[in-house]
């Protein structure tokens, strides 16, 4: 149980929240030195480089609070020095060079060194090491260290290598400490070089962090940060309305509009790099192009945005948001329910004889995720598609996707903070990718050569052609680019993050 004083209990009053057996976190007050965030996901693991949780974009705000990445990103997604201060390719692109930041300490007080960087990259590149994108990290090797300078050979050219160093699994891990305590010991007591240190962790309940006084980027504004894991959207609304939490994200937009007008509360909605989409699995009814195309063109995305999301989203037709490098506004999948009926009729289906399949979705992870799927199912029903909704937690989605066992249709929130087409279309649609459930030779044949394309103009053009082909064949159903609602007490200054959820190190007292 967390130790709290009598005075703290009196201050928390009835706003205290019992999170589990013997665990209580009192209502935090950002007027002081603590900020409490009602967060929309649990934290399954403390290793930000291995396992399925490592590629969950929503968790990254927690990871970035404790760990540092090779290369940093500003809230507007601009790259900036992280634990590497310089990086780049040789002129012939056969080597990479990196300069390691001096004067950094791990949370246990030991010095951070170039050996930690090399060990982390070598560990990440082991194909049997558990890193979900090991095939990216394995493309450099034969590392050499000279003081704080590192060079490595390019074993296979990867144009997005340095972008990944600011993205999923791109974290530097403590070599000596990890080798001493092992995976279990690290899970029990993780350390990083980040702005906050882990103080207490109750699985499925909360994590409490304390400021790192020796942080190379400067001590953060709040001494203590509490992430409460509150997957239910209604409960997150209650958290912020009752004062039990200081900040929350991804509440329903009607609640956002209501609560931001209340005394003492404020809010901001920011377009983020996340996309709402429906995976299609190349199995059963989805092998029929008419069914896929009918499912795609019978969805009125504008109505969903206007009526369910109160205008806080942008309809899209590819897996590239407008901020992404390969965004092509000429690719448009129209809303045409009459054409959808014709396509289904050609395959022997219609309202009186519907094609049937399941669609999976989260409920409360993102604003109106379940309600969006309900609306889509209603639109499908009108043209001759009968879809049964199955609700699952986001962790189950990752498990099923990795095993290629998603339902014929599965709603998902895809994050791509580096805006590269490989990390949107590529990872979602390339058959050999562990993050894809669409596996066909035609598409894989188009995507395959683009992975190592050194001509950037040719590479981006190739991805635009892939996106057009995918749209023409309805291999996936992109829906919207999200805008993230953030609610917070007026005593807190919150900086929105285009990558997704705001990070505690970017928060401060507004007073």
pTM, two decimals, is: 0.84
Confidence band of 16 (pLDDT split at 50, 70, 90)? very low
Give the 3-state secondary structure of residue 420: coil
Q: Which helix (H) or strand (E) holds 179?
A: helix 175-188
Q: What is the pLDDT of residues 287-345, one digit of tens each?
A: 999 999 999 999 999 999 999 999 999 999 999 999 899 999 999 999 999 999 999 99
- In the Cβ-directed half-sphere of 124, how many Cα atoms lie within 13 Å? 28
Q: Is the pLDDT of residue 17 over 80?
A: no
Q: Which neighbouring-strand residues pair with 81?
A: 71
Rounded percentage of the chain residues whose pLDDT exceeds 90: 89
Q: What is the pLDDT of residues 204-239, one digit of tens each?
A: 999 999 999 999 999 999 999 999 999 999 999 999
Closest CA to 417 of 329, 330, 503: 503
Cα angle 431-40-63, degrees, rounded to a multiple of 5? 70
* pLDDT score of 32: 58
Give the 3-state secondary structure of residue 105: strand
Note whether 317 and 478 are within 8 A (CB): yes
- The rounded distance, in Å, linking the Cα atoms of 223 and 229 is 20
- The rounded distance, in Å, linking the Cα atoms of 456 and 69 is 25
Give the CA distances from residue 107 to residues 166, 215, 263, 450, 494, in Å, rounded to whole numbers and listed in that order: 21, 9, 39, 40, 25
Please enumerate in sequence order all residues whose Cβ is within 8 A of that of 14, keeping only pairs 6 or more positions apart, or say none. none
- The rounded distance, in Å, linking the Cα atoms of 222 and 231 is 24
* pLDDT score of 323: 87
Q: Which helix (H) or strand (E) holds 56?
A: none
Write down the mean pLDDT value for the chain.
92
- The rounded distance, in Å, linking the Cα atoms of 75 and 501 is 10
- The rounded distance, in Å, linking the Cα atoms of 155 and 124 is 15
First-to-final CA distance of the chain: 31
Note whether 361 and 373 are within 8 A (CB): yes
* pLDDT score of 7: 31
Q: What is the pLDDT of residues 334-388, one digit of tens each?
A: 999 999 999 999 999 999 999 999 999 999 999 999 999 999 999 999 999 999 9
Note whether 498 and 292 are within 8 A (CB): no
* pLDDT score of 434: 86
Mean pLDDT of 118-142: 96
Q: Which of 17-31, 264-278, 328-342, 405-419 has the lowest mean pLDDT?
A: 17-31
Q: Which neighbouring-strand residues pair with 446?
A: none
Closest CA to 245 of 40, 44, 53, 495: 40
Q: What is the pLDDT of residues 19-28, one digit of tens each?
A: 333 333 444 4
Q: Is the pLDDT of residue 10 over 80?
A: no
Cα torsion through 188, 192, 197, 200, rounded to 10: -10
Q: Which helix (H) or strand (E) holds 118?
A: helix 114-124
Q: Is the pLDDT of residue 164 over 60?
A: yes
Q: How many CB atoms within 10 Å of residue 402? A: 15
Q: Is the pLDDT of residue 130 over 80?
A: yes
* pLDDT score of 12: 33
- The rounded distance, in Å, linking the Cα atoms of 251 and 241 is 12
Note whether 220 and 506 are within 8 A (CB): no
Confidence band of 73 (pLDDT split at 50, 70, 90)? very high
E strands present in 49-93: 71-73, 79-81, 84-89
* pLDDT score of 383: 98
Q: Is the pLDDT of residue 126 over 90?
A: yes
């Amino acid at each position: 149980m967390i130790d709290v004083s009598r005075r703290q209990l009196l201050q928390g009053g009835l706003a205290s929240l019992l999170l589990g057996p013997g665990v209580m976190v009192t209502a935090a007050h950002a007027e002081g030195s603590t900020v409490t965030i009602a967060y929309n996901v649990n934290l399954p693991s403390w290793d930000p480089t291995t396992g399925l949780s490592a590629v969950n974009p929503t968790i990254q705000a927690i990871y970035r609070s404790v760990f540092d990445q090779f290369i940093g990103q500003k809230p507007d997604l601009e790259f900036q020095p992280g634990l590497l201060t310089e990086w780049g390719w040789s002129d012939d692109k056969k080597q990479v060079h990196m300069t390691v930041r001096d004067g950094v300490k791990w949370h246990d007080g030991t010095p951070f060194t170039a050996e930690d960087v090399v060990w982390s990259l070598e560990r990440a590149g082991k194909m049997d090491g558990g890193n979900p994108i090991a095939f990216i990290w394995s493309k450099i090797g034969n590392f050499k260290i000279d003081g704080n300078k590192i060079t490595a050979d390019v074993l296979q050219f990867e144009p997005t290598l340095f972008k990944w160093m600011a993205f999923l699994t791109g974290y530097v891990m403590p070599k000596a400490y990890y080798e001493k305590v092992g995976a279990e010991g690290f899970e029990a007591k993780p350390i990083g070089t980040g702005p906050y240190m882990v103080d207490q962790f109750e699985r499925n309940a909360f994590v409490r962090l304390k400021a790192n006084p020796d942080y190379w980027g400067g001590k953060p504004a709040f001494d203590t940060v509490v992430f409460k894991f509150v997957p239910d959207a209604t409960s997150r609304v209650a958290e912020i309305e009752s004062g039990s939490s200081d900040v929350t994200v991804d509440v329903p937009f009607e609640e956002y509009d209501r609560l931001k007008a209340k005394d003492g509360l404020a809010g901001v909605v920011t377009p983020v790099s996340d996309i709402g989409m429906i995976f299609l699995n190349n199995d059963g009814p989805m092998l029929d192009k008419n069914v896929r195309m009918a499912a795609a063109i019978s969805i009125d995305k504008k109505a969903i945005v206007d009526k369910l999301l109160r205008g806080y989203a942008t309809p899209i037709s590819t897996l590239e948001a407008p901020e992404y490098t390969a965004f092509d506004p000429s690719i448009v999948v129209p809303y045409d329910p009459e054409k959808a009926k014709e396509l289904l009729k050609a395959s022997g289906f219609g309202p009186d004889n519907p094609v049937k399949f399941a669609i999976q979705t989260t409920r409360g992870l993102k604003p109106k995720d379940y309600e969006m799927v309900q609306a889509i199912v209603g639109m499908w029903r009108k043209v001759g598609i009968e879809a049964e909704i199955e609700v699952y937690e986001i962790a189950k989605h990752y498990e099923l996707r990795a095993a290629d066992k998603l339902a014929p249709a599965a709603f998902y929130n895809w994050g791509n903070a580096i805006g590269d087409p490989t990390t949107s279309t590529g990872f979602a649609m390339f058959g050999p990718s562990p993050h894809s459930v669409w596996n066909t030779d035609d598409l894989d044949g188009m995507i395959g050569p683009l992975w190592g394309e050194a001509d950037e103009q040719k590479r981006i053009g190739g991805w635009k052609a892939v996106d057009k082909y995918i749209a023409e064949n309805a291999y996936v159903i992109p829906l919207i680019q999200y805008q993230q609602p953030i609610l917070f007490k007026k005593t807190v200054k919150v900086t929105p993050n285009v990558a997704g959820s705001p990070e505690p190190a970017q928060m401060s007292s507004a007073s």
